[in-house]
Amino acid sequence: MAPKKKIAVMTSGGDSPGMNAAVRAVVRMSLHMGCDAFCVYEGYEGLVQGGDFIRQMQWDDVRGYLGEGGTLIGTARCMAFYERPGRLVAAKNMVLSGIDALIICGGDGSLTGADRFRAEWPSLLEELISTGHLKEEQTTPYKHLNIVGLVGSIDNDLTGTDATIGCYSALARICEMVDYVEATASSHSRAFVVEVMGRHCGWLALMAGVATGADFVFIPERPRENDWQEEMKVVVRRHRALGKRKTIVIVAEGARDNNGTKIGAEEIKDILADKSKGGLALDTRITTLGHVQRGGTAVAYDRMLATLQGVEAVKAIVRKPLMQAVAETQELAKAVDAKDFDKAMSLRDAEFADQWNSYMLTTNVMVDDEKLPERERMRIGFINVGAPAGGMNAAVRAAVAYCLSKGHEPLAIHNGFAGFARHHDDKPLGAVRPFDWLEVDGWASKGGSEIGTNRELPAESGMELIANLIEEHNFDALFIVGGFEAFHSVTQMRKARTQFPSLCIPMCLLPATISNNVPGTEYSLGSDTCLNELVNYCDKIKQSASATRRRVFVIETQGGRSGYIATLAGLDVGASAVYIPEEGISLEMLNSDVNHLKEVFRKDKGQTRAGRLILVNEKASKVYSAKLIADIIREEAHDRFESRESIPGHVQQGGVPSPMDRCRAVRLAIKCIQHLEGYGRNAHNHVKKDPKSASVIGIQGSEVVFSGVEDLEENGTDWPNRRPKTAHWMGLSETVDMLAGRPSYPVPEKSLTGLIAKDTKRGL
């Protein structure tokens, strides 16, 4: 029988939220695959010190890690590891501990050190043998060292990846602080200069600027022109002339001008506060966020990213050779220092460049130079359909800003198709109104839907009336933001084109629903906000469950007939079981899970924080509700442990949208308007022939894709269950169960439907 593989995990460099989730995933996945799991405490320092710094871990040792910030196994700067003698001692300690694989979560410096360690490994072993510190037979099983790197960095500064562990948590802290600062800035009509981290990487500064609608942003990769002082004055004056009472400037700590001269917060403040002739004379303050950006627990996305990467690391699957990515990252820093800014931008992922362009487009509102010729300008109707979702307002704001910058006329259709049909000619204000830019500019961080939304479909409002109103208002295109009802609305209008020619205008849907159940995309606006609300809620509930030791909470999640929210939340909070509509619930499944809970609590004996969570989607079963499941568990526990149900309800829609939802809303909304622009005015004949004239914008893998609604409604939609036919996230259910230690269970039989069900009941 082959000896057990021994896998060690360590965190190194600056701490970042999500590192604990990675450690938990590595430990539990290692144990699940029959390996021994170790943690190296205090980073490379622990590797050099050895002894009690390298500890074997068991399943329960990492319980509760998901909800903790920083890194519970510590990290430290280790000067000894920079020198070969230090690495020699580290190699000896690893051999003596029997470790043959190392998983490191850290930044590019930590991963560079790891690669050097791996490259020197054979020579280190030879030296240890020749100097008598180890015998040859001791080193024989460890001739090759396997190292996997997980990138933990709040800066999101590693090339070749969309996101590093911790970056979205840091962005959430920044946006939260900027939102707070905006309130006082507006009250006093002040300017604030906010300095954020990022010596060679402007990701945090740029995304914060996009998410909060900042007036000006400075990043290292795209320096401002030499006369940036005048450029900033022009932008700020223009915004103030439009009526803005606040000015927010975000600057990355590594920001420079074209000549490589550092641009500091003090210099920016002096320009904004300049009271000389021609100066802005604004009451200006500086806010340096510092290490606040690293603090707090990880947001939902970072927990998911760290967990999945930890699992993949144990499987030793790496998508990109580690050192290729690290080398490119260091190349990027050199490009910034050498003022080769085009190269620096090219080394960033496509989304970064897109977001920069989006930011610039939404900042240049009311600039005559940007406007299209009169004949190319369009009247575009904006409408929200379905339940409210985080990011709806950010999408509308960005699209309005883009339209105004190009000379288009954006018009708000208030309160969905119901408002359009019933209140279009109300006096003094009808349902169709022009946007007030000053009002819209403050929507970036607002939840809900400022122009109103509901679930009514155009067919219910009266398709003929809707078609006549579109003609009456002379709309050249429709921009729709919403969930499955919005998708259904577009399909209805597309089908009605043959009957009502006025519907032969381009229509584009930007999916926004917490359920993430719109065909044509793997991500909908609002789903990340919902996950964060649910994760925060579950963390509090789990704390209560852990404090009382022997308690199970059954939490009901929203999501319609899609189990996306329940599954992802289960992954992020470490749920013991997740029940979703795609699988259903059966007595055998419940019996298996109850027996598992009994066994867990029997072994525990009150020694650990053994609070447990079970998540159940609201439509997982017609019979087994959250209350009934909690009652069954309570009855079967025979007073050995307790169970309670908890229903967060509409809290899951969230308050302030998450930074991810805001940033993606801006990027996708602008792409939608650009897509509609491609058809131009009076495009009726073109629209009839083009299947993408009624389309859904979506993220599929790493690509932004426009999908024709006709193809989606015929081939991609499970209409009875109001969800896509294929769920990209279903494979995560297995990971959730594995990390929770859930035993295998009998999968419920699928329900029969229609005539087959009737005939079967009759015995035919």
384 and 468 share one domain: yes
> How confident is the model at residue 753, as a pLDDT?
66
139 belongs to an annotated ligand binding site? no
Q: Is 514 annotated as a binding residue?
A: yes
Q: Is 558 annotated as a binding residue?
A: yes
The reply to whether 759 falls in a domain is no
Q: Is 650 annotated as a binding residue?
A: yes
pLDDT at 331: 65
Q: Do 445 and 504 belong to one domain?
A: yes
CATH of the domain at 456: 3.40.50.450
d(CA 495, CA 493): 5
Q: Verify that 149 and 221 share a domain, yes or no.
A: no
Residue 674 in marked binding region: no
Other Cβ atoms closer than 10 A to 315: 10
- At 317 the pLDDT is 32
Q: Catalytic pick from 155, 441, 593, 737?
A: 155
**Is the same domain home to 209 and 313?**
no
CA–CA distance, 358 with 670 (Å, rounded to integer): 7
Rounded to an integer, what is the distance from CA 413 to the centroid of its chain?
Answer: 29
Do 651 and 695 lie in one domain? The reply is no
Q: What is the pLDDT of residue 343?
A: 64
* Two structure tokens written together for 435: 């946007």
Structural domain containing residue 188: 167-294
pLDDT of residue 711: 95
Q: Does the residue 745 lie in any domain? A: no
Is 328 a domain residue?
Answer: no
Residue 449 CB neighbours (<10 A) = 24
375 and 518 together in one domain: yes
Q: Is 552 annotated as a binding residue?
A: no
Residues 516 and 534 in one domain: no
Residues 475 and 613 in one domain: no
173 marked among binding-site residues:
no
What are the per-10-residue average pLDDT scores of the chain (764 residues)?
A: 81 93 96 93 95 94 90 91 93 93 90 89 94 90 86 85 91 94 92 92 94 93 84 91 93 89 92 84 92 89 94 64 56 62 63 82 70 91 97 97 93 96 86 90 93 96 96 96 98 96 96 97 97 95 81 95 97 96 94 92 69 94 96 92 93 94 96 95 84 95 92 94 94 93 83 68 66
513 annotated binding-site participant: yes
How distant, in Å, are the alpha carbons of 59, 143, 179, 262, 456 from that of 269? 52, 58, 19, 14, 50
77 is in an annotated binding site: yes
For the domain that residue 631 is a member of, what is the CATH number? 3.40.50.460
Question: What's the confidence (pLDDT) of residue 318?
Answer: 34
Which residues on neighbouring strands pair with residue 705, listed in sequence order? Answer: 698
Give the strand pairing for 507-511 and 551-557: unpaired
With beta carbons less than 8 A apart as the criterion, state whether 481 and 665 touch: no
The Cα 515–Cα 482 span in angstroms is 11
Number of structural domains in the chain: 4
- CA dist list (Å): 136 to 3, 141, 142, 143: 18, 10, 10, 10
Burial profile 709-738: b = 16 or more Cβ within 10 angstroms, e = fewer: bbebbeeebbeeebbbeebebeebbebbbe
C-alpha atoms less than 13 angstroms from C-alpha of 156 in its C-beta half-sphere: 22
User: Would you say residue 706 lies in a domain?
Assistant: no
Pair (160, 173) in one structural domain: no
Instruction: Assess whether 536 and 500 both reside in one domain.
Output: no
Same domain, 157 and 304: yes
Assess whether 61 carries a catalytic annotation.
no
Q: How many residues does the chain have?
A: 764
| Ligand-binding site membership of 290 (annotated) | no
Asked if residue 11 belongs to a known ligand binding site, the reply is no
3-state secondary structure labels for all residues of 275-333 = CCCCCCCCCEEEEECHHHHHCCCCCHHHHHHHHHHHHHHHCCCCCCCHHHHHHHHHHHH
Co-location of 120 and 176 in the same domain: no
**Domain presence at residue 503:** yes
pLDDT of residue 608: 61
The H or E element that residue 454 is part of is: strand 453-454
Q: What is the pLDDT of residue 319?
A: 36
Closest alpha carbon to 148 in 368, 397, 323, 334:
323
Q: Is the pTM of this model over 0.95?
A: no
